Amino acid sequence: MTSDRLTADLAFIGHVCLDEVVPFGGSPRVAPGSAVLCGALAAARIGTSVAVVTRMAPADEEILEPMRQVGITVHVVPTDFTTYMKVVHPSSDVDDREMFQLANAGLFASADIPALDVRQVHLAGITDQEFDLSFVQGMKARGYRLSADMQSFVRQVDPESRRISFGNVADKEELVQLLDMVKLDVVEARVLTGTDDLERAAIMFEAWGSPETLITRADGVLARVNGKTYWEPFSNRSVVGRTGRGDTTFAAYMARRLDHDPDESLKFAAALVSIKMERAGPFDGSLADVLERMTATAVR
């Protein structure tokens, strides 16, 4: 455990996990993963101060070492199990994935969260086994500027097979009204809104009360901010690092958005995640790398 109060620019709350990835036509590999790990590392490596609150088995704390090495403060809520995910790519389409949650660290409770002195709190769940509506309401009641990844609610784990399916969320409008920013991908957008037209989906979220919505797709990312739509294509030359694409995009956008406008922040996020997708694992570049990619992309 860390001290009772965490101070940072951004706080990420969610499970860290072990990801077993089975690529199409390739060999399985197991590595630390999660929205928290990918997002927190991306934000920290561009100079943002980051805190993490996670639930996991203390025996697996080596998963946290990459975050601690870059100065991220981690608060661990000890549990019997660390979340274990299996992701199977049955075709060459990198967005075609079958997912299973084979072990689960359990739902967060309000008592798990220390006092946070931060500019924004991001609920970075992997599945619906981390946050419920009452937890989100409690976090909002504590006065935090709050964002969430809608995969935290749309990815629903079957209690018997442990297979993850994508389902609608009964409380989606109430959830969105509690959030200052929303992150989702094209699949989650289709499940929640009935359309895979990114702008139409984002406008629906706006109507539900979201002032700022980010939606990723294989070719780029759309932002809808206070009635205006922005779009930025990705520039990656390979997809070997596709796992964590959306988590990294949103973390980069959120970090840059602390002090920049939406257009600049979206360009920055697209450049950073394009670099990340060209290598397996979380983003391991620097702020200079991202700015260089932005410049290169702008002159094409």
How confident is the model over 35-81, as pLDDT tens digits?
A: 999 999 999 999 999 999 999 999 999 999 999 999 999 999 999 99
Domains of the chain: 5-294 (3.40.1190.20)
Q: What pLDDT is stored for residue 96 in this prediction?
A: 81
The mean per-residue pLDDT over the stretch 184-208 comes to 97
**Helices and strands per DSSP (H, E), number in the chain:** 10, 17
The overall average pLDDT reported for the chain is: 94
The mean per-residue pLDDT over the stretch 114-142 comes to 97
Angle between helices 245-257 and 35-45 (to 10 degrees): 40
Q: What pLDDT is stored for residue 26 in this prediction?
A: 87
Q: Which of 147, 194, 152 is nearest to 171 (CA)?
A: 152
Q: What pLDDT is stored for residue 300 in this prediction?
A: 65
Q: What pLDDT is stored for residue 33 in this prediction?
A: 87
Q: Which of 119, 145, 71, 75 is nearest to 256 (CA)?
A: 119
pLDDT of 162 higher than 50: yes
pLDDT of 236 higher than 70: yes
pLDDT of 21 higher than 90: no
- Other Cβ atoms within 10 Å of 133 Cβ, number: 15
Give the residue, 2 or 228, on which the prediction is more confident: 228
Q: What pLDDT is stored for residue 190 in this prediction?
A: 97
The mean per-residue pLDDT over the stretch 165-191 comes to 97
Strands (E), the chain: 5-7, 10-13, 17-22, 29-33, 50-56, 73-78, 83-88, 98-103, 115-117, 120-123, 146-149, 155-157, 164-166, 181-185, 212-217, 220-225, 228-233
HSE-CB at 93 with a 13 A cutoff on CA atoms is 7
pTM of the model: 0.93
Backbone angles phi, psi at 185, to 5 degrees: -115, 180
The span from the CA of 55 to the CA of 118, in Å, is: 20
Q: What pLDDT is stored for residue 239 in this prediction?
A: 84
DSSP string over 105-148: -----GGG--EEE-SEEEE--SSTTS--HHHHHHHHHTT--EEE
Angle between helices 35-45 and 262-277 (to 10 degrees): 110
